[in-house]
Amino acid sequence: MYTLPKTIKVIAFDADDTLWVNETYFREAELEFAKLLAQYETANKIDQELFKTEIKNLTQYGYGIKGFILSMIECALELSNYQISPGTIAKIINIGKEMLEKPIELIDGVEEVLAELQGKYKLIVATKGDLLDQERKLQKSNLSHYFHHIEVMSDKKEKDYQKLIQHLDIQPSELLMIGNSLKSDVLPLVKIGATAIHIPFHTTWIHEQVAEDVSSKEDYYTVLKIKEVLSFL
């Protein structure tokens, strides 16, 4: 049986693709977007250009569906040489609205894990994205009552986690982070002296992927299902 440092007092959970399904809907939206622009470019080229546009816009829009919609519209305008019809723009907007209205599909075992850990540790959500959208998803998930604190972060780099630790008034050694992204939920925590558990999700945005030789040099734990976390604690 694996054991974690006895110093841990706070367990932070990522939200998207750790507590509930999220990235799958982005992949579905990208496929629909490529179909709408099929007369202008190949699906592969459309996907590449959309990704470039999203990354370029991150500093202005941040993470989340609303920024994704704006990036799709901008990409459509550029790929069509500004010939895209208003009707197609409306369809792109509707893709985003449908994403915002998706039901919440909890990852298997999430509620069981939260119920077991509640009262033993201070549980928090540490996620990035659009504040309104993340609050909506948390409310629809019916998981809010398990958490002491909800932190919607503009990014998840070392400095962002250091601010979170200061806000929680704890030491890095007292924090455990659980999430699906090595880049955002694991490696920054390890570098500041906290503990992290990686739970891979079957779909990962390319921006969140890291080279295997980078991740293999860091000290963190990996499980395949969230229920396995209980064997550590």
CA 30, 32, 38, 40 torsion-angle sign: negative
Q: Which residues contact 56 (CB under 8 A, 6 or more apart)?
A: none
* Residue 207 confidence class, pLDDT cut points 50, 70, 90: very low
pLDDT tens digits for 51-94?
Answer: 999 999 988 998 889 999 999 999 999 999 999 999 999 999 99
pTM of this structure: 0.87
The architecture (CATH level 2) of 23-100 comes to Orthogonal Bundle (1.10)
pLDDT tens digits for 104-129?
Answer: 999 999 999 999 999 999 999 999 88
Q: Where are the domains of the chain?
A: 10-20+105-231, 23-100
Note whether 103 and 122 are within 8 A (CB).
no
Which pLDDT score is estimated for 86?
Answer: 97
pLDDT tens digits for 170-201?
Answer: 999 999 999 999 989 999 999 999 999 999 98
Angle formed by the axes of helices 43-61 and 23-36, to 10°? 120
Among 204, 200, 128, 121, which residue's Cα sits nearest to residue 164? Answer: 128
Which class does domain 10-20+105-231 fall in?
Answer: alpha beta
Note whether 175 and 194 are within 8 A (CB).
yes
Per-residue b or e along 201-213, where b marks 16 or more CB atoms closer than 10 Å to that residue's CB: beebbeebebeee
> pLDDT averaged over the chain?
91
CA 74, CA 68: separation in Å to the nearest integer?
Answer: 10
